[in-house]
Amino acid sequence: MNKSISSLLALTAFATGALAVEYKATRDWVRLPEINSKATNQHGDVAVSSKGEIYVSTMDANAGVQVFSPEGKFLRNVPGAPNDFHGFVIRQDQDGEFIFGPRLVAQTIVKLTLDGKIVLEIPASAIPDQFKNVAPPTKKNAKGEVTPNPDAGKTSVRLTAMDVASNGDLYVTDGYASDYVHQFDRRGKYLKSFGGKKEPYNFKTLHKIAIDTRFTPARIIGVDRANGRVVHLSLDGAFLGVIASDMLLPAAVAIQGDYAAIGEIKGQVTILDKAGKVVAKFGTNKNPDEAGSNKPEPSRWIAGLVTAPHGVAFNAKGDLYVSEYSLFGRVHRFNRM
């Protein structure tokens, strides 16, 4: 694609009524392969600290969380940070600022200081088995034959994201398994579970969630990926309704001011206002070989064009960082105009 088309894609806006929000892409804000001198398998998230530093999770065994300046300069790795953070946030707590995230492989929920010290770890065993997936008695082998399942009856979770309420309660979604949201208090005590695949929720991959502070009382906003919709839940677990539908597999959500940013893994970013109206769409990738894929190599990347958004985070000014599902590691910065 030529440079003029690339420039056109870098600045996009969508208006609904009198509302319009514009974002401009920062060309090559950061390239993780260049930082790490190798491919950087990324299936994680992005978060911004109160200092404006950007934290990016990767699957690198030696650099699970990497920290960058707002300008994209590599600053440091978080020592000892896990490399299986699928979704994480940075939040202020009573004793300071912390990283909160579920580990997708280890099946634990952890709270870390910004320099990597674990101060809380909740095992999957804290969640009652009735809210977990149970392995079936049989399974199909590579030939499609039905065989006994050696793991029959075992329970499991695949925790994909979380957020922290103002009172310190932790809300964690089991987006790759049961689609339940599990609630803990700030000390890690299990409180309750809600959601799931049945009425009234009908979730199909409740992939990531956030505390929606635009409302009083605050509520949960969730991206129900396979259903292509964004939903609201009360902090007590009541299903409040669908905010947006017919989206391109919504996979990530972040709140700032009056807006919710939705990263759609089939190649798009959408900004919703408090009423659920679309006020911006950008980064749209209509190439079927790229949208939703983690395989496009850096040589194919175009500034302002996303491939598979998997994490989104605002800074204090309303600029948006978008991390990709990518075998090579890619993070965009879109500046709010």
- Give the pLDDT confidence of 34-56 residue by residue, as tens digits: 777 778 899 999 999 999 999 99
153 vs 233 pLDDT, higher one: 233
pLDDT digits (tens, 9 = 90+) for 188-217: 999 999 999 999 999 999 999 999 999 999
| Widest CA span in the chain | 60
pLDDT band at 299 (very low <50, low <70, confident <90, very high): very high
Helices in the chain by DSSP H: which ranges?
3-10, 32-36
For the full predicted model, state whether its pTM sits above 0.85: yes
Give the Cα separation of 201 and 206 in Å (integer): 10
Its domain, for residue 242, covers 3-336
pLDDT band at 7 (very low <50, low <70, confident <90, very high): very low
Total domains present in the chain: 1
pLDDT digits (tens, 9 = 90+) for 95-122: 999 999 999 999 999 999 999 999 999 9
**Which run of H or E residues covers position 233?**
strand 229-234
20 vs 67 pLDDT, higher one: 67
Q: Provide the residue type at 140 as one letter.
A: K
Q: What is the pLDDT of residue 2?
A: 40
Q: What is the pLDDT of residue 17?
A: 44
271 vs 150 pLDDT, higher one: 271
Which residues neighbour 44 within 8 Å (Cβ) at sequence distance 6 or greater?
56, 57, 58, 59, 85, 86, 87, 88, 310, 311, 323
Output the domain CATH number for residue 221.
Answer: 2.120.10.30
8: left (phi over 0), alpha (psi -120 to 50) or beta: alpha
What's the average model confidence in pLDDT over 264-277? 97
Q: What is the pLDDT of residue 222?
A: 98
Tokens of 126: 């804290």
pLDDT digits (tens, 9 = 90+) for 55-104: 999 999 889 999 999 999 999 999 999 999 999 999 999 999 999 999 99
Share of the chain above pLDDT 70, in %: 94
What's the average model confidence in pLDDT over 18-42? 82
Q: What is the pLDDT of residue 1?
A: 41
